[in-house]
A and B are shown apart, each in its own frame.
Chain A
Amino acid sequence: MAEFSWETRSPLDRALVAGPNGASGDAGVSLTEIRNFDLVQVMARRGKAAEMAEAAKARFGVAAPETPNAVGAADATLIWSGPDQFLALSTGGKHSIEALAPGFTGSASLSDQSHARVLISISGAKARTMLAKLSSIDLHPDVFGVGAAAATSMDHTSVTLWRGADRDGQAVFNLLVFATFAESLWHTILDSAAEYGVEIGHPEELA
């Protein structure tokens, strides 16, 4: 019997090289990848938006976002992804598609996206300036506050972007990128950030 391993590999496995990148000096942009998460697309069935909302509330203890926002629950983040639909981001299998399915029977369709996306965290004093090269939406703090989310595009590639809790007084932007585009977009981000100096962190587990 052959022995084989089912080691998972992130799409950024080769591309992400921890350490400084671009201009020297204080890094204006900090980048890293967040790994190991469950991500489930939850879409209301026709005429069942209210039922889906109830099911979400029952499951996560918070109302699912009805507008472009990311809502933090005790052990998951619910990110708006379109009309009457959201992404449930969690870790440890607690809200995997299998775990969620029973609660949403009849009210929503679930589709596993855990492997379909890569999650990139972007912060630093120049994060917003750098993102202005990639994103056509207005990320001014008055407009895109903590918890704001957007289904949008960067470099002609669909992404989900939301602003997490600030860290060290700096905004933190979370970016879900389609897995097969991830390496390409990663390099584009690095190119855009190079002039500000980049600190690439070792991949982190989703907390």
Chain B
Amino acid sequence: MTSHRLSSGGLIDRSAPLNFRFDGKSYSGFKGDTLASALVANGVKLVGRSFKYHRPRGILTAGSEEPNALIELRSGARREPNTKATTAELYEGLEAASQNRWPSLNFDVMSVNQLFAPIFVAGFYYKTFMWPAKFWEAIYEPAIRRAAGLGRAAGIADPDYYDKAWAHYDVLIAGSGPTGLAAALAAGRTGARVILCEEDFTPGGRLIADGGTIDGMPAAEWLSRTLAELGSLPDVRIMTRTTLFGVYDGGTYGAIERVNDHVPSPPEHQVRQRLWRIVAKRCVVAAGALERPIVFAGNDAPGVMMASAMRSYIARYAAAPAKRMALFTNNEDGWRTVETALGAGLQVAAVIDARAEISPAHRSLASKGGFPVLHGSVSGIDGGKNGVRKISVSLTGGARAEVEADGLAVSGGWNPTVGLTSYHRGRPKWRDDIAAFVPDGAPPGMVAAGAANGAFGLGACLREGFAAGVTAARDAGHGNGSGSTPVADDEAFSLTPLWHVAGKGKAFVDQQHDVTASDIELAQREGFESVEHLKRYTTLGMATDQGKTSNVAGLAIMAAVTGKSIPETGTTIYRPPYVPVAIGAFAGHHRDETFHATRLTPSHHWAAEQGAIFVDTGLWKRAQWYPRAGEKDWLESVTREVKAVRGGVGFCDVSTLGKIDVHGADAGAFLDRVYINTFSNLAVGKARYGLMLREDGIVYDDGTTSRLAEDHYFLTTTTAKAGLVMQHLEFCRQVLFPELDVQLTSVSDQWAQFSIAGPKTRDLLKEIVDPSEDLSNEGFPFMGAREVALRGGVKARLFRISFSGEMAFEISVPARYGEAMARNLMIAGHPFGVTPYGTEALGVMRIEKGHVAGPELSGTTTAADLGLGKMMSTKKDFIGRVMAGREALIAADRQVVVGIKPTDKARRLRSGAHIIPKGQTPGPDNDQGYVTSVCFSPTSDHWIGLALVERGRERIGEIVHAHDPLRGEDYDVEICNPVFYDPDGGRQRG
């Protein structure tokens, strides 16, 4: 048995001992322990060092509000900094280390900071470290950064997995104490779908440690009966190890389930944690209340503990935080700790009660327990890193006393947990009778009950919980359930507010951030009186405990210094999450290669077989080029592919283009309104290039659209804009022009589409298309489009369009034939040297041909900038028409698309270089444009590019300077016609 383990009692499983290590030293505990309770049981008092002054700290609480007992849990890639020992479940082999100390917890060099404490007051850094300016980044800041922070993150990729799930319930209940269980019973019995989230690994809340009598039976028995009944209801779910952390609009709640944090590592195929998005019609916040400290000098010494926490350690974990304890309380409830301690056979040195009167029952308890009751306040602690030894007391009336004890329980009253109810900027309201804030202005559908609502008695909790459950179920559409409210007595509760005991020495308000009462006074003196200023200036409440034990005390002290009341002083805005949540949990499985979905083209696996190199284009993987053995780099492969197309025939999977079926009697009229050019007059069997503007007159997207029937067009978009164009067209159809008879269907995934290009395209196609189809220039002229039969009976759509400038077709087959199509093209094209080509070669050929693409359609260019101004119809209205005519969009000095070529033909061009007039020093005033797209043109045998250049079209032939300081390059280029290849277009028409 460990030194501070009680010989009996508690909810620990004494048959399951567990070994663990803290700071390298071995200890043992039991199943059912937290790391904190196991440390208590082993008599460990010093567990951490504070943020700024590196003061020794012990365990203050027994829950997720813990400010001090923060440790690094686990090791290696699983190291979890700032983990609360008070919520970490013990498991066999657990490893934990204290943090923010060097070289050891016991001897921490940085505790020298305490010597500078007179200087290191709130906000001191705003007043210094300013001279010389360069010293900030070089010296001061690195030192501050090293000193700040608490634990160390792993610094290695997280090896565990997370997932996310949705849940839908009528009633969501936060907390499984008496209030939450009563609410669950009431709602569950109506048949409502109920989910109850409990942060702890054991349901029961304060019932576990504080007991009581409910419906005439011991609380433990009532608890197990209630859990059994709830378990028998099919639509009631109790989730332990699950914290409700946030409430979002529309009755959506965030909860984090710690699925496998209580084991060394998650079993195979299981996640570490799961993020729940719970959609609930009603929510009952039964999250209880948190006991609050009283601020006094030395209140941060190890061994000073919240009174309720001390009860939990003794009653729930059978671990004694102190063998001879003292209690400092300002209320009735604190005394329960004395009862619990005495009941466990521990000694009580004294009770220091700030109230003028105590009850006769407690007075007789004191005489029975043989300890004095001192009326007054604790004014100082004598003790060090090994814990409390002596307690100084200022007695009412001015005298002083001392109490020898090895632990001090403190109770300053209780603060309802108002976080969840305040996340929609609801401001809690002050209640004088309990001297605490209670929820007000909760989000729609949410209600607080029990201690979370300021009802501290057991009977009141059960009543409020049960009533809230009934109401919630009814509001969610369920009738009455059976059964009645569980009954229990209400304990007496009297409290004399006491926030701060004046005294010598540092009195901590926010223990984690080392914010003292005098820091608050200083902030007030300097004008930081608003609570939000106070928080920001002193960092009060901004630590990992989110101020759960410090916020209210902080503003009470501020209220006292400013002479305002506490409600006048107000609270800061409450912000989620209620407890810190691992970033990995919010990400779920969206990490690494599964960060986003991947779209594969119909010929993807075939291309992979060919050894294609793939490039990410949006969500797509596209074949970028197809390297062949012996080729030294991508450029060699791409050049080969281009030459093969220009000299023979090649093909490329262009299925990534957006494809939309446009049906309806008004399809043509509709297209006239969304494109700048006219489509209603397009003949059936023909394709036309179209350009769309945004309503602000800027180019949105382009593509070819074919008319397959009188009332059926087939529209293509760029790969990048496919989804957005569909959305835009639906907007036009449904909102702008609802009178038109048009139907839109995305057929992007229905068709595998290939571009087949090169002078031998027709030869190849003849092998693949049914011989009855006329592919001659007369029978299938440039910009023709129609359905054809392929050999073997598959039907395809054939379009005589060209992006490469060659004699070319695009052919669509139903997508499941896509892979066969690629194989068949290889077979059919074999005699003609057919070559698959990727997006790089596609890009080279479009640049050679002067076709604009993504880099030129940048969202800032007009049709005229792109050299397509003449396409704008003057005979009809279309989206963007009016705004395109604004003065700045038609200004003569706009940057327009031109070609560029280097004067030194050996020179490589790069996109992103800027265009500067020759002979001038580059500067903001002569920055006349930039290079948008470049490639090595196998056809020209040198690099070529497209650029946006001021007045470019007037400057064809001018030599300008390509300025690229980023890459240390400067060279001359000639502005030229953007169409480098076959400017007459004879090849594509031939």
Contact = CB atoms under 8 A, between A and B. Distances in A.
Interface stretch (A1-9, A63-71, A166-174): A1-9
Contacts of A23: 268-269
B848 interface: no
Contacts of B816: 8-11, 115, 179
A178 interface: yes
A167 B191 CA distance: 27
A9 B166 CA distance: 34
Interface in A94-113: 109-113
B830 interface: yes
A43 B744 CA distance: 9
Given A133-B164, A195-B270, A43 B820 contact: no
Contacts of A5: 792, 820, 823-824
Given A45-B741, A111-B747, A191-B594, A6 B830 contact: no
Contact of A109 (B663, B818, B820, B824): B663
B741 A116 contact: no
Interface in B241-292: 268-271, 277, 279
Contacts, number: 154
A140 B168 contact: yes
Contacts of B163: 133, 191-192
Contact of B815 (A4, A13, A22, A116): A116
Interface string B709-724: 0011000000000000
A79 to B, nearest CB: 15
B827 A3 contact: yes
B827 A2 contact: yes
Q: How large is the interface on B (under 10, 10 to 19, 20 to 34, 35 or more residues)?
A: 35 or more
B750 A180 contact: no
Given A4-B827, A138-B279, A195 B269 contact: yes
A31 B454 CA distance: 51
Contacts of A112: 747, 750, 814
Interface stretch (B85-93, B425-433, B503-511, B597-605): B597-605
Nearest to A179: B749
A53 to B, nearest CB: 16
Nearest to B746: A116
A188 B594 contact: yes
Interface string A177-198: 0111101110110011011000
A77 interface: no
Contact of A45 (B166, B279, B743, B817): B743
B918 to A, nearest CB: 48
B820 A47 contact: no
Contacts of B268: 23
A4 B825 CA distance: 9
Contacts of A114: 750, 814
Contact of B597 (A7, A115, A185, A195): A185
B745 interface: yes
B79 interface: no
Contact of B820 (A6, A10, A132, A192): A6
A160 B72 CA distance: 46
Nearest to A154: B597
A30 to B, nearest CB: 17
A6 B792 contact: yes
A155 interface: yes
Interface of B: 163-168, 193, 268-271, 277, 279, 589, 594, 596-602, 605, 620, 655, 661, 663-666, 711-712, 739-743, 745-751, 767-768, 790-794, 814-820, 823-824, 827-828, 830
**8 pairs of A and B residues whose beta carbons are closest in the complex:** A109-B663, A46-B741, A138-B168, A116-B750, A111-B745, A4-B824, A8-B816, A116-B749
Given A46-B665, A114-B750, A117-B749, 16 more contacts: A2-B824, A4-B791, A6-B790, A11-B815, A43-B745, A45-B743, A46-B664, A46-B741, A85-B743, A111-B661, A111-B747, A115-B750, A116-B746, A156-B597, A181-B599, A184-B597
